[in-house]
Each structure stands twice: as structure tokens, then as C-alpha cells.
């Protein structure tokens, strides 16, 4: 009897070096010895969560950069500036709100 396993709830932290298990390892970010890690894990869960949140903020910063480029090109091509800027502000605010919510999530 086997059914496909759903991805574990910590799946998104795997790329930061975290996986749960029965070993004690030293986290390469905070330097603490942490129990409950996989044999190959190099990052404790709190550090992996922080790295994940920081990644979301980097994504928001990239979105802002894209919005700035869009505004610049709107200025150069003399599109209706008010419309272009309103879109840029809306997109930037949304990206920041999402990133901040992720970074502050418990």
C-alpha cells in the first residue's frame, strides 16, 4: 500500500539547507548546535525561515526596479504619465505589502 506523499511543509526551506531529522548539527548561519536536523542539513529552521523571508524582500526590490524601468520608458515615450505612474505605484505597493507580510509572518 503506497500513495504519493504530499510535499513536506518545510519543502520551501530545503533550498536554504534545512531539513528535519534526528541529528545534532551546527548551523552554518548562527553557529548554534541544533537538534532535530537531517544528517545533511546545514541550516537551522529559524535561520532558513529568515533567509526565505529575505528572499521575498529581494523579489520585491526586483519588482520595484522593474517598475522604475517601466516609469522611465513611459517618460521617454511620452505615454500618459499619470496612468503610467499610477500603475507603477500600485504594483510597487502591492509587491512591498506582500514581501513585508511574508517577512513578518511568525
Q: Which residues bind Zn ion (CB under 5 A)?
A: 27, 29-30, 44, 47
Nearer to Zn ion, 13 or 84 (CB): 13
Contact 41, 17 (CB under 8 A): yes
Residue 95: exposure state from Cβ atoms within 10 A (0-12, 13-18, ≥19): buried
Minimal distance, residue 26 CB to Zn ion, in Å = 9
Nearer to Zn ion, 17 or 60 (CB): 17
**What single-letter DSSP state applies at residue 40?**
T
Minimal distance, residue 46 CB to Zn ion, in Å = 6
Minimal distance, residue 77 CB to Zn ion, in Å = 48
Could you tell me which residues are beta bridge partners of residue 34?
25
Nearer to Zn ion, 27 or 88 (CB): 27
Contact 31, 71 (CB under 8 A): no
Amino acid at each position: 500500500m503506497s500513495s504519493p506523499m504530499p510535499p513536506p511543509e518545510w519543502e520551501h526551506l530545503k533550498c536554504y539547507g534545512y531539513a528535519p531529522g534526528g541529528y545534532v548539527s551546527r548551523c552554518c548561519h548562527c553557529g548554534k548546535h541544533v537538534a532535530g536536523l537531517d544528517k545533511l542539513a546545514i541550516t537551522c529552521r529559524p535561520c532558513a525561515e529568515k533567509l526565505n523571508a529575505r528572499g521575498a524582500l529581494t523579489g520585491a526590490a526586483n519588482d520595484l526596479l522593474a517598475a522604475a524601468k517601466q516609469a522611465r520608458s513611459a517618460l521617454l515615450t511620452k505615454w500618459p504619465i499619470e496612468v503610467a505612474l499610477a500603475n507603477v505605484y500600485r504594483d510597487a505597493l502591492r509587491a512591498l505589502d506582500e514581501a513585508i507580510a511574508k517577512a513578518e509572518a511568525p
